[in-house]
Structure 1
Amino acid sequence: MMAAANPIPTTGIAGLMPPVRGRLEANAALGPQTWFGVGGPAEVLLRPADADDLSSFLGALPPELPVVTLGKASNLIIRDGGLPGVVIRLARGFSGIVVEADGIVCGGACLDMTVAEHAAGAGLRGLEFLAGIPGSIGGAVAMNAGAYGAEITDVLDWAEIVNRSGEFLRLPVEALGFGYRRSSLPEGAVVVRVRLRGEPGDPAIPRARIVEIRAAREASQPTRARTGGSTFRNPDPATTPLKAWQLIDEAGCRGLEIGGAQVSEKHCNFLLNTGAASAADIEALGEEVRRRVADSSGIDLHWEIRRLGVPGHLATLGGAA
């Protein structure tokens, strides 16, 4: 028997929400759910029960309402004014994992690390790099995440999505237009399931590689701090052989602070919330780093961290005019 739909909030745009079997919450706090620990609320937050619930919701949602999907919010700044429209977060109904002879099928909410461990346990090589990416599989596909010499485009067979109109589509890797830290997913689409290839073999080999990756991350990155991962993309090697962190260091930005935000002393392509930062502090610090790097090297660093939402002084959430 199908569970009864949850009650729908009635304030602001929340009164326009279609019924769901999952959870709908108006003016939902997002900051505590991000790795930085900052940012304003979602006008409406949806946690769909499963892919069918998500499909019916999006199919009935007024098309003019904006939709944003958040993964584990590890590579993200949500601005202090929050996110207008509907924010979607996938949970338990999107976390299934099925190991096959030469690959793994997993839900969009699965942690990258969990997928790497399942693959290694089955003796599948080639997915160990996921152990170095602190996010979810859906987010990894959306940004063609990569680390330690590999990226999603190298191992993806297909991704199943629910598009903004509520349709299910299975897209082969060739249809996703992958580039460096980007894909061409349709706007508003949600990655609900993917298939990743692996090379069968001895489980000891991928397990050992995961141990190496974990140790390397711990030694070189501020993994225990409130951070968002790598802040800027590495420049095109044809422009400079230097990595983003080297350019930032040479520009004298290591340890630089604005408000409660700081450039990490351990790895200066990481920004930190030292305890009292706002989203505006973190974004302003990133822009100051970009300015100093441009002044010292002539290189224009591009953000890798996504920045979403409304600056605090422009907030009009909760149905305000």
Structure 2
Amino acid sequence: MSVALALPEVAGRLTPDAPLAPLVWFKAGGAAQWLFEPKDADDLSRFLSRLDPAVPVMALGLGSNLIVRDGGVPGVVVRLGKPFARVEAIDATTLVCGGGASGILVSSTARDAGIAGVEFLRSIPGTVGGFVRMNGGAYGSETADILVECEVVLRSGERRVLKVAELGYTYRHSDLPEGAVVVSATLRGRPGEPAAIQAEMDRIAASREASQPLRSKTGGSTFKNPPGEKAWALVDSAGCRGLRIGDAQVSEKHTNFLINLGGATSADIEALGEEVRARVKAKSGVALEWEIQRVGVAK
């Protein structure tokens, strides 16, 4: 991929032609034309305000629910590192979290502060920015239940605070503007006892370990649950458990997970997902929607 872009100066780190496979859970896919790891929100804002508006920008969190196509991602991929991974309790029920903070860090900080209601984030392999964008949820709760507001840097470089009501949340979807990067979020839970919060986190962790292929190269839940249905059950009933294309396989343990057995390309993984969708449609008449984001260009 050509890296001939005129880019503004930054205080953080800009890397041309940066491989993304090591940064995503599937361990497959191409490179970012440019990877930008900003020093802080001001650095990000200044960079985006000076960047040619025609250059596409994409935020990357932990890369857990993502297929990066083999031809890579044109433009700039923004990855929020340690400066954005802080979490602080500001009162008895409220947390301020950096956009790069993991669900494990958020839930652990909440536990230590005696804030209940955010335990479900322990089970989602992602960052606060991804939770806000995708209305991440599990075990009967979702981001919309606990988000007060978030601060974003828009593609123009403008910094803006958006209240939860402005995000148009539905199941695994928000109306967050294209190219916006979530740099922080304010979450509100309820008072709780740290021991009880830890017990709930342990229960969630054990349930995930028992039911999901956590030790595989995977992308998490592949398809959204259709209204009144479970995606995994539809995939199973269509005979797709263990189905393979190359080294991409439908998990034997949980059929709403695709896994990379070792040498799968992103094209293999995406083709397998489309084959599953076709078989489910033929068997049940249900058109499964992708929950995993697919970005970049095919090779």
How high is the TM-score relative to the length of structure 1? 0.91
* Aligned twin of 2:59: 69
> How far apart are 1:32 and its partner, in Å?
1.2
* Aligned twin of 1:200: 191
* Aligned twin of 2:69: 79
Which of residues 8, 13, 29 in structure 2 aligns to 1:39? 29
What is the distance in 2 between the residues matched to 1:22 and 1:75?
Answer: 26
SS in 1 for 2:252: coil
**2:102 touches 2:128 (CA, 8 Å); kept in 1?**
yes
Question: How many corresponding residue pairs?
Answer: 298
For the pair 1:285 / 2:272, whether they are aligned, the reply is: yes
State the Cα deviation string for residues 100-157 of structure 1 (Å, max 9, x = none): 2211101000001110111011110100000110000100100000000000000000
Which of residues 123, 144, 162 in structure 2 aligns to 1:171? 162
Gaps of 5+ in 1: 1-10, 313-321
**2:3 touches 2:17 (CA, 8 Å); kept in 1?**
no
> How far apart are 1:201 and its partner, in Å?
2.4
Which of residues 98, 107, 114 in structure 1 aligns to 2:105? 114
Matches within 5 A, 1:123-202: 123-202=114-193
> How far apart are 1:86 and its partner, in Å?
0.7
> How far apart are 1:200 and its partner, in Å?
1.4
What is the distance in 2 between the residues matched to 1:122 and 1:212?
Answer: 19
SS in 1 for 2:157: coil
For the pair 1:227 / 2:214, whether they are aligned, the reply is: no
How high is the TM-score relative to the length of structure 2? 0.98
* Aligned twin of 1:253: 240
* Aligned twin of 1:298: 285
* Aligned twin of 1:26: 16
What is the distance in 1 between the residues matched to 2:83 and 2:116?
Answer: 27
What is the distance in 1 between the residues matched to 2:83 and 2:7?
Answer: 20
* Aligned twin of 1:55: 45
SS in 2 for 1:228: strand
What is the distance in 2 between the residues matched to 1:255 and 1:131?
Answer: 28
SS in 2 for 1:208: helix
What is the distance in 1 between the residues matched to 2:251 and 2:64?
Answer: 16
For the pair 1:308 / 2:295, whether they are aligned, the reply is: yes
What is the distance in 2 between the residues matched to 1:190 and 1:201?
Answer: 31
What is the distance in 2 between the residues matched to 1:14 and 1:109?
Answer: 28
What is the distance in 1 between the residues matched to 2:3 and 2:19?
Answer: 16
What is the distance in 2 between the residues matched to 1:98 and 1:124?
Answer: 12
What is the distance in 1 between the residues matched to 2:123 and 2:265?
Answer: 27
> How far apart are 1:15 and its partner, in Å?
3.9
* Aligned twin of 1:316: none
What is the distance in 1 between the residues matched to 2:289 and 2:167?
Answer: 22
What is the distance in 1 between the residues matched to 2:89 and 2:260?
Answer: 38
SS in 1 for 2:33: strand
Q: Could you list the runs of 4 or more consecutive aligned residues of structure 1 that deviate by over 3 angstroms after TM superposition?
A: 11-15
**1:14 touches 1:26 (CA, 8 Å); kept in 2?**
no
* Letter paired with 2:203: E
**2:88 touches 2:109 (CA, 8 Å); kept in 1?**
no
* Aligned twin of 2:253: 266
Identity %: 56
SS in 1 for 2:76: strand
State the Cα deviation string for residues 144-199 of structure 1 (Å, max 9, x = none): 00000000000000000000111110111000111100100111100000000011
Which of residues 198, 205, 217 in structure 1 aligns to 2:208? 217
**2:223 touches 2:291 (CA, 8 Å); kept in 1?**
yes
**2:245 touches 2:269 (CA, 8 Å); kept in 1?**
yes
State the Cα deviation string for residues 236-268 of structure 1 (Å, max 9, x = none): 12xxxx300000000000000000100000000
> How far apart are 1:14 and its partner, in Å?
4.7
Gaps of 5+ in 2: none
